[in-house]
Amino acid sequence: DAKTTQPNSMESNEEEPVHLPCNHSTISGTDYIHWYRQLPSQGPEYVIHGLTSNVNNRMASLAIAEDRKSSTLILHRATLRDAAVYYCILTSSGYALNFGKGTSLLVTP
């Protein structure tokens, strides 16, 4: 499976935008970019996904580089409830999700 690289941790102030980066230089043409987040002792929560174009939904935006070798999850106004571990995952054929270590986001009031 193609691998992703994310910073171990990031910090943000409440109500400020947050940009969470992800590098995936070995992405293949059929790989989708998925983002999930996970709060302590809870199951992963789907956030957003994309293939080539930037995507927006009610939770976040996903900006995908033109060469698709990197992407950025954008939380427009961080809240305390957004503090979680964020995972960037590539998916194509096959079923198992490879959740790596993700980025632990700390949001301070």
Task: Give the one residue of 22, 34, 68, 107 binding another protein; rule: CB under 8 A.
Answer: 34
What is the chain's length? 109
- What is the spatial distance between Cα 2 and Cα 42, in angstroms, rounded to a whole number? 26
Determine how β-strand 18-23 pairs with β-strand 70-75: antiparallel
- 77: contact with another protein by CB under 8 A: no
Instruction: Supply the minimum distance, in Å, between the C-beta of residue 50 and another protein.
Output: 9
- What is the spatial distance between Cα 105 and Cα 78, in angstroms, rounded to a whole number? 10
The helix/strand/coil state of 94 is: coil
β-bridge partners, 22? 71
- 93: contact with another protein by CB under 8 A: yes
- 30: contact with another protein by CB under 8 A: yes
Task: Give the one residue of 17, 98, 106, 108 binding another protein; rule: CB under 8 A.
Answer: 98
Task: Give the one residue of 49, 59, 61, 104 binding another protein; rule: CB under 8 A.
Answer: 49
- 5: contact with another protein by CB under 8 A: no
Amino acid identity for residue 34 in this structure = H
- What is the spatial distance between Cα 12 and Cα 19, in angstroms, rounded to a whole number? 9
**Given the rule CB under 8 A, which of 2-10, 11-19, 32-40, 60-68 is the region that contacts another protein?**
32-40
Contacts to another protein by CB under 8 A: 30, 32, 34, 36, 41-46, 49, 51, 91-93, 95-101
